[in-house]
């Protein structure tokens, strides 16, 4: 059966994503339901979905040029961080994961630097794409951030940059690689190593000590889409090797509308705050967590 074709006016994602292989615009069809079932099974088994060549070759050249153009806007930050992005606990042994710190150096292009004409902005704001992501992660709907800096971001890793072992503050994260480095820059993770019922510090300590029995490794390629449960899966990106930067687009969504990130995080990640963050500081409002896991 021939797939139903839509005009670019009806679906702005035509030509930007491989909608024949990944029919995210036809989720109620037989092939659309099969795609969702496949993704959910992969998430259940692996804690991670990778859809290879989500962006067709013709659009990939444009996409890479897009993040190349944006990359000089990246703000670089260097910190020593533990897996929980928190402070050390002197009451615990030095070997405890909360007291294990590693270098975290990377750059981020903030969302307010990414125009409406870009491919990545069109994908981020697409109702088809949002409905697809929501279906995969088991939600009725998801919402774009109200945070103008953190909703849509380009992560830029140049030589020596890395994300050491850590958890995400988000329950899930959606990323798309647009450029791979010459070496390094490999995504590694321990799926479901912790849960809302417990931190499982002993297993985390083993990973930090070099026991990677539970660790999975993925060599992502440009054009690949990744949906990942990073709140409960310890993960890292190994140090980038070579002069070629590693570029990854981060599509961040929330369960509820109106989400704004912590002001101190905006200042650290982007080197500045937006007016909404300054308002949060004035009002002294915090962000409520739906679990009791360490941040």
Cβ-proximal residues to 30 (8 Å cutoff; 6+ apart), any chain: none
Asked, for residue 98, whether it belongs to a domain, the answer is: yes
2 — phi, psi (to 5°)?
-75, 135
- Enclosing domain of residue 104: 30-281
Task: Report the CATH number that the domain containing residue 141 is assigned in CATH.
Answer: 2.60.120.620
Asked, for residue 1, whether it belongs to a domain, the answer is: no
Strands, sheet with 187-190, edge to edge from the N-terminal-most edge strand = 163-166, 234-237, 187-190, 216-218
Asked, for residue 255, whether it belongs to a domain, the answer is: yes
Asked, for residue 14, whether it belongs to a domain, the answer is: no
Domain count, the chain: 1
pLDDT tens digits for the chain (295 residues)?
Answer: 334 444 434 677 888 999 999 999 999 999 999 999 999 999 998 889 999 999 998 899 999 999 999 999 999 999 999 999 889 999 999 999 999 999 999 999 999 999 999 999 999 999 999 999 999 999 999 999 999 999 999 999 999 999 999 998 888 999 999 999 999 999 999 999 999 999 999 999 999 999 999 999 999 999 999 999 999 999 999 999 999 999 999 999 999 999 998 898 899 899 999 999 999 888 876 555 566 677 7
Asked, for residue 216, whether it belongs to a domain, the answer is: yes
Asked, for residue 148, whether it belongs to a domain, the answer is: yes
Q: What's the number of CA atoms in the CB half-sphere (13 Å) around residue 282? A: 7
The reported pTM is 0.91
Closest CA to 250 of 233, 277, 274, 230: 230
Asked, for residue 51, whether it belongs to a domain, the answer is: yes
């Amino acid at each position: 059966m021939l797939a139903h074709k839509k005009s670019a006016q009806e679906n702005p994602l035509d030509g930007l994503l491989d909608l024949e292989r990944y029919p995210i615009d036809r989720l109620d069809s037989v092939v659309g339901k099969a795609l969702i079932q496949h993704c959910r099974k992969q998430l259940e088994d692996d804690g991670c979905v990778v859809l290879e060549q989500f962006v067709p070759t013709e659009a990939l050249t444009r996409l890479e040029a897009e993040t190349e153009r944006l990359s000089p806007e990246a703000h670089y930050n260097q910190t020593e961080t533990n897996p929980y992005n928190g402070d050390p606990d002197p009451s615990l042994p030095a070997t405890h994961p909360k007291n294990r710190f590693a270098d975290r150096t990377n750059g981020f292009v903030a969302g307010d630097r990414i125009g409406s004409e870009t491919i990545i902005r069109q994908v981020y704001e697409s109702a088809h794409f949002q409905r697809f992501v929501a279906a995969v992660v088991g939600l009725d709907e998801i919402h774009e951030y109200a945070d103008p800096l953190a909703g849509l971001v380009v992560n830029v890793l140049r030589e020596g940059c890395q994300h050491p072992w850590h958890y995400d503050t988000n329950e899930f994260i959606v990323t798309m690689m647009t450029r791979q480095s010459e070496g390094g820059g490999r995504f590694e993770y321990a799926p479901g190593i912790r849960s809302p019922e417990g931190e499982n510090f002993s297993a985390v300590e083993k990973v930090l000590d070099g026991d990677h029995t539970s660790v999975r490794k993925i060599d992502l390629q440009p054009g690949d889409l990744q949906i990942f449960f990073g709140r409960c899966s310890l993960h890292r990106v190994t140090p980038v090797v070579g002069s070629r930067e590693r570029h990854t687009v981060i599509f961040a969504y929330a369960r509820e509308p109106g989400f704004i990130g912590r002001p101190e995080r905006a200042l650290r990640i982007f080197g500045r705050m937006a007016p909404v963050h300054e308002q949060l500081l004035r009002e002294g409002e915090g962000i409520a967590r739906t679990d009791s896991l360490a941040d």
